Amino acid sequence: MVDMLIMVTINGEAKRFSIAPGDLLLDVLRREAYFGVKRGCETGECGACTVLVNGKPINSCLMFGAQAEGTEILTIEGVAPDGKLDPIQTAFLDHGAVQCGFCTPGMILSARALLAGRPDPTEAEVREALAGNFCRCTGYLKPVEAVLAAAQANREAGLSGARTKSGRSRGQARKRQ
């Protein structure tokens, strides 16, 4: 076995890792202390190990580290740089979408990829986006509500000043606190 070097950008930082040719990306990332990438099933079913590779959600347990060469990876650790929460993270807190929190990083990353391409998703689109992230705690209602609320918060932030039919979800979020 010959160790190989891969160059990746993780959460905006250029990294060089020495890996074994058969290493899975999940193992590489956790070894490098990206502990927010969770090990749940190692068969690509549960989605706890979801990261974004070039903006797309993938299961890092089903991707070899070697395949990540030259890519840009976003893990949960890079979602709130400087501690400023993404609206999705805030919405997860506001809506009680976090219980044990083990599947939460994967869900948030899946949601982030969705909202990057679909700023105004339907509930069905949100459910499709989260379909690869098993959660045994919440029954999915609150995570789905949270993603929809985050989409609205994003739109309002983007349209600050502009008139929108806003109000509703904001009001709800406030009520919840």
Q: Which of residues 153-172 bind other proteins (CB under 8 A)?
A: none
**Which of 74, 76, 111, 115 touches other proteins by CB under 8 A?**
76
Range 98-137, binding other proteins (CB under 8 A): 98-105, 108, 110, 113, 126-137
CB of 116 to other proteins, least distance (A): 13
Please tell me whether residue 147 adopts helix, strand or coil conformation.
helix
> Is position 72 an interface residue for other proteins (rule: CB under 8 A)?
no
Please tell me whether residue 108 adopts helix, strand or coil conformation.
helix
Q: Which of 80, 56, 76 is nearest to 67 (CA)?
A: 56
> Is position 74 an interface residue for other proteins (rule: CB under 8 A)?
no
Element holding 24 (H helix, E strand): none
> Is position 43 an interface residue for other proteins (rule: CB under 8 A)?
yes
**Which of 73, 111, 115, 142 touches other proteins by CB under 8 A?**
142
| Cα gap 173→14, rounded to integer Å | 37
| Cα gap 75→81, rounded to integer Å | 11
